[in-house]
Amino acid sequence: MATVSGGDRDFDLTRAHFQRVRQLIGEYAGISLAASKQDMVYSRLVRRLRALKLDSFDDYLQIVVADEQGERQAFVNALTTNLTAFYREAHHFDVLDRVLGEFGSRKVRIWCSAASTGEEPYSIAMTVVEHYNSWSPPVEIVATDINTEVLRQCRSGIYGLDRIEGIDAARRKRFFQRGVGAMAGKARIKPELQRLVDFETFNLLGDHWSRFNGVDIIFCRNVMIYFDKPTQASLLKQFHRVMNVNGWLFVGHSESQVRDVPGFVAQGHTVYRSQAVGVAA
């Protein structure tokens, strides 16, 4: 049987298995896995085979398809890439601060739609608290992700000190508690900040979008890059449908395809504003 690589591995990941993995992750999460990702797939899924004490990828993929004991979610968790950082693409948080000023005292709804391990939604929350200089700002922040493991990390609000060292000292003092004893080497988001963010599982390819009707600001950064063009286009249309006219959309630095979707108008680097379709230039 043709294996994807090296004969020194514990399990054979054949080309047929790899193609099946690509098909399934496309179906479940919209992720378009490149043909070059076979080694990555092996190293991420082999842990699941070991955890389940399975002998082969054949057995494993059957369990995923049958969704035995929630293995489909574990498969998705294993194959998503969760790279993130506090204040990643920092200019967005300066723009967010300015944008919040436009809403006056009215309630603002923010949706962070690919929250990963929480650095992005907590960066949004810190910006909000600083903007209003209040722990009770008129803002609702919902942070979602397809990956249930990263959401667990979000909810814990605990990060290694190395994750927060790029944040300036005043912010670290205001928003984090430094761990002691068993928690040495870690920092925890202060509860006052944590309670400003609601975390939920949500698949951007899924249904139940009405949950987000009337949202004012959407962060969708560094996830569309994993989707193919038709999926990106339909996702952007969904965003446009649920968000308020004159709402704001923040995307990742290489996600310029928003320009091609009617109803979004560029407002500087990777920031867009929604307009009624037919009004946008």
Ligand X SMILES: C[S@@+](CC[C@H](N)C(=O)[O-])C[C@H]1O[C@@H](n2cnc3c(N)ncnc32)[C@H](O)[C@@H]1O
Give the catalytic positions in this structure: 44, 145
Q: Tell the smallest beta-carbon distance from residue 235 to ligand X (Å).
A: 9
Q: Is the dihedral of CA 27, 33, 35, 41 positive or negative?
A: negative
Q: Is the Cβ–Cβ distance between 242 and 235 less than 8 Å? A: no
In the bound complex, what is the minimum distance in angstroms from residue 76's beta carbon to ligand X?
8
Q: Is 120 in the site for ligand X (CB under 6 A)?
A: yes
Q: Half-sphere exposure (CA, 13 Å, Cβ side) for 86?
A: 23
Of residues 100 and 220, the one with the C-beta less far from ligand X: 220
261 lines the binding site for ligand X (CB under 6 A): no
Q: For the CB of residue 257, give the shortest distance to ligand X in the complex, in Å.
A: 16
Name residue, tokens 């600001």. Answer: 217
Q: Which stretch binds ligand X (CB under 6 A): 16-24, 140-148, 238-246, 259-267?
A: 140-148
Interaction residues for ligand X, span 25-44 (CB under 6 A): 29-31
Select the span of 78-86, 132-140, 167-175, 186-194 touching ligand X (CB under 6 A).
Answer: 78-86
Query: Could you say which residues in the range 174-203 bind ligand X, by CB under 6 A?
Result: 203
Query: Would you count residue 221 as binding ligand X (CB under 6 A)?
Result: yes
Q: Which of residues 223-242 bind ligand X (CB under 6 A)?
A: 223, 226
Site string for ligand X, 240-259 (x = CB under 6 A): ------------x-------
**Residues lying near ligand X in the complex (CB under 6 A):** 29-31, 80-84, 88, 114, 116, 120, 145-147, 150, 203-205, 221-223, 226, 252
